[in-house]
């Protein structure tokens, strides 16, 4: 059984906040169908990158569209695709400093003070490890931690959440070597567990409802004692990227 | 609270099986943390396309690699990208007859009898509506139904599940017009709920474990009386596809 819930009452987070300290009372008060409360071993704490970025002081000035464009350019490593919008502005899908391919380089202008924009955490895996350490110190258990962001995909409408930072979560489930009911090796061999957990968590977190943190229970088989290799490993390396230099070229 | 579980004991499905009739005993026996059993109004039944395709007799002969290639070509509408593998074979990402962009056009050679391949359901939304009608007739409730398949994504490692068929599920959550805490309109406006539910369901279904069906509870706000527009609407139309004719061209 998988369970996921996103508690109300997460306080507004600002620069310099100790994220683990701020989240602990809210997480400790969660109640589960079996009557237990709080976060247990094997749970995964899923948090929106926006909240982590705010705690890390990643808010920058972006007083107008031109300044916002410069902020986005500063986060851009490589332009992947561009398209002119009906209003003449240009939508750019880019690879950003974190290696993620996203619109606007992952720079967030929603739910931030006017005249500012929010950069992603500098190193989301490091942020996840830090939050995990802080939660462990306060809660006495060592949950997995995922930091999530929202992105579109080339051939699917609507956005979904994905994992950009991870600590203590086995981010991929490797079924290579396993066989089907007919004794043949499985074709679909590596599942991106972290992105699926991020998507499940988004269903309870939702957008713009003041619930940026979820706890997912039932994935204990994917929670590890070690922090593990993180979510950066979920980014497809250039040699596997079929869309790096053009369609059909690699 | 979101809950998801995938029952054991789903029988092997073969051509001509009445899927709803075969699944009903398994679904009716599910137990929930509150002590209730079965499927309730507002639940979503999520089923792997493989099972639906088998019931619909979509198994075809594919005795060797060449015949399998011809089957894939027959399902291909447009080649999106190709890459030569280290062993000299060619990986093709294509748009298939259902409009989905996938490796091998969605033709499945895993967990099928030797010498065969499995095509996707001809019209997954119609399959979802049919299954929903059958479940309603037998269970007395009208759950949402999603048919899922597994796909890779250009810049992310590992595969995730997505929704290729839907009935009675509001597949996208449209937040346009909603405002953030600072009074500005939300940037991220349309969430692909169906793909996120498919991903959550995959976490409990897993691969190669004989649990191709999951029930997701807690998404009643996304379950509708009408069958709705289905999952075909989740496919990005050509005018929005930034990777249709080449990087940076549209």
A128-149 confidence digits (pLDDT tens): 999 999 999 999 999 999 999 9
Q: pLDDT tens for residues A174-196? A: 877 777 777 776 666 799 999 99
Chain B nearest-CA distance from A130, in A, is: 24
Within 10 angstroms of residue B155's Cβ, the number of other Cβ atoms is 23
Domains annotated for chain A, with CATH where assigned, are 3-57+121-238 (3.30.1330.100), 59-119 (3.90.1660.10)
- pLDDT, position B110: 85
Q: Which of A82, A184, A236 sits opposite B156 (nearest CB)?
A: A236
- pLDDT, position B84: 81
Alpha helices in chain B (DSSP H): 19-28, 49-55, 65-75, 124-139, 193-205
Choose between B182 and B26: higher pLDDT: B26
Q: Does A219 touch chain B if contact means CB atoms closer than 8 Å?
A: yes
- Between CA A149 and CA A165 the distance in angstroms is 9
β-pair partners for A101: A95
Residues of B in contact with A171 (CB under 8 A): 158
State yes or no: pLDDT of B206 exceeds 50: yes
Q: Does A90 touch chain B if contact means CB atoms closer than 8 Å?
A: no
Percent of chain A clearing pLDDT 90 (strictly above): 78
Joined together, the tokens standing for residue A123 give: 């190193």
Check: CB of residue B90 under 8 Å from CB of residue B83.
yes
Contact (CB<8Å) B247/A250: no
For residue A214, give every residue at least 6 positions away whose Cβ sits within 8 Å of its Cβ, in sequence order, or none.
A4, A5, A6, A45, A46, A47, A201, A202, A204, A205
Residues of B in contact with A176 (CB under 8 A): none
Residues of B in contact with A250 (CB under 8 A): 81, 83
Q: Which of B113, B157, B180 sits opposite A234 (nearest CB)?
A: B157
Check: CB of residue B42 under 8 Å from CB of residue B54.
no
Residues of B in contact with A173 (CB under 8 A): 158, 206-207
Grouped pLDDT means (10 residues each) for chain A, 250 residues: 96 96 97 97 98 97 94 95 81 93 92 94 98 98 97 94 98 80 71 97 83 97 97 91 54
Percent of chain B clearing pLDDT 70 (strictly above): 94
- pLDDT, position B250: 30
Q: Which of A2, A95, A248 sits opposite B81 (nearest CB)?
A: A248
Helix axes A19-28, A124-139, angle to 10 degrees: 50
Residues of B in contact with A193 (CB under 8 A): 158, 203
Percent of chain A clearing pLDDT 70 (strictly above): 94
Q: pLDDT tens for residues A199-219? A: 999 999 976 568 999 999 999
Q: Does B90 touch chain A if contact means CB atoms closer than 8 Å?
A: no
ipTM summary value = 0.94
For residue A82, give every residue at least 6 positions away whose Cβ sits within 8 Å of its Cβ, in sequence order, or none.
A90, A91, A92, A93, B242, B248
Single out the residue of B42, B5, B49 nearest to residue B27, CA to CA. B5
């Amino acid at each position: 059984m998988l369970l996921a819930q996103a508690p109300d009452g997460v306080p507004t987070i600002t620069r310099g906040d100790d994220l683990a300290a701020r989240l602990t009372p809210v997480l400790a008060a969660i109640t589960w169908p079996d009557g237990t409360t709080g976060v247990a071993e094997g749970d995964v704490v899923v948090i929106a990158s926006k909240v982590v970025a705010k705690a890390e002081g990643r808010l920058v000035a972006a007083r107008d569209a031109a300044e916002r464009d410069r902020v986005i350019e500063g986060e851009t490593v490589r332009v992947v695709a561009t398209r002119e919008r009906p209003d003449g502005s240009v939508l750019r899908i880019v690879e950003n400093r974190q290696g993620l391919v996203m619109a606007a380089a992952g720079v967030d202008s929603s739910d931030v003070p006017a005249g500012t924009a929010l950069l992603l955490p500098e190193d989301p895996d490091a942020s996840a490890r830090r939050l995990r350490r802080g939660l462990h110190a306060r809660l006495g258990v060592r949950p997995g931690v995922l930091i999530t962001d929202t992105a579109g995909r080339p051939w699917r409408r609507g956005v979904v959440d994905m994992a950009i930072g991870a600590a203590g979560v086995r981010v991929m489930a490797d079924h290579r070597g396993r066989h089907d009911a007919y004794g043949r090796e499985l074709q679909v061999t590596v599942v991106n567990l972290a992105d699926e957990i991020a998507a499940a968590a988004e269903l309870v977190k939702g957008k713009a409802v003041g619930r940026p943190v979820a706890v997912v229970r039932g994935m204990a088989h994917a929670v590890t004692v070690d922090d593990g290799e993180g979510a950066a490993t979920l980014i497809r390396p250039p040699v596997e990227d079929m869309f790096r230099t053009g369609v059909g070229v690699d």
